[in-house]
Structure 1
Amino acid sequence: MTDFRDVAAENRFEQGFTDAHGELRRVWADYARRGDSRVILHVEADQALRGSGAAGDFMKRLTDHARAEGFKLIPRCSYAVAWHKRHPEAADVVAEW
């Protein structure tokens, strides 16, 4: 696994994970800025990571990052919406659309 990062120039959060074959792959979330919030437009995991739990780990790290940096998340992507519904402990970083 590599460090989580905000690629602000591309409006993208990303993190690397090692797949079952030892290759480094990415999970990412495209976002739009809305005031002090980030609207999560799309979350995607590299095909080789699907089903591995990497996307869920990424969402946890994204939540921790938002909390540490003091901004809110507005989930719009169906995966992000579903993840936040399953993780009420992350409600403190979720803002309404």
Structure 2
Amino acid sequence: MADIKITNQPAQHRYEAHIEGQLAGYCEYNLLSEAVMFTHTEVLPEHEGKGVGSAIARHVLDEARAEGKQVIPVCQFIAGWIRKHREYAELVRPDVQRAFKI
């Protein structure tokens, strides 16, 4: 597996994943007072199948947890990832879980 480096780019409202200095994917977000709303995640075609999406999801959710933020997974990839990784479900309020079928 390639070494994936993820950084927050607050001015662009997104996290970026890089492999060997090349942009491999990103996750866009909106920061709210007590939550972070993830709106879109994309892995560039040439980096699909390298674990980039999962690395992004784990990173952004771990960072939300560390900051004490709730998560609103508008992005279908992030919502689906939480469904598969139930240890992150507590980051999503029960009413929001119902709305996004988590």
Query: Does the residue aligned with 1:35 lie in a helix, a strand or coil?
Result: coil
- Matching residue's letter, 1:47: P
1:1-97 map, 5 Å:
1-18=3-20, 24-95=22-93, 96=96
Considering only aligned residues, what root-mean-square deviation do their CA atoms show, in Å? 1.9
Query: Does the residue aligned with 1:51 lie in a helix, a strand or coil?
Result: coil
Do 2:5 and 2:19's aligned partners in 1 also have CA atoms closer than 8 Å?
no
Contiguous gaps of at least 5 residues in structure 1: none
Do 1:17 and 1:27's aligned partners in 2 also have CA atoms closer than 8 Å?
no
- Matching residue's letter, 2:15: F
Report the count of equivalent residues. Answer: 93
Q: Percent identity?
A: 24
Do 2:4 and 2:17's aligned partners in 1 also have CA atoms closer than 8 Å?
yes
Moved over 4 A (4+): none
TM-score normalised per structure 2 = 0.77
TM-score normalised per structure 1 = 0.80
Contiguous gaps of at least 5 residues in structure 2: none
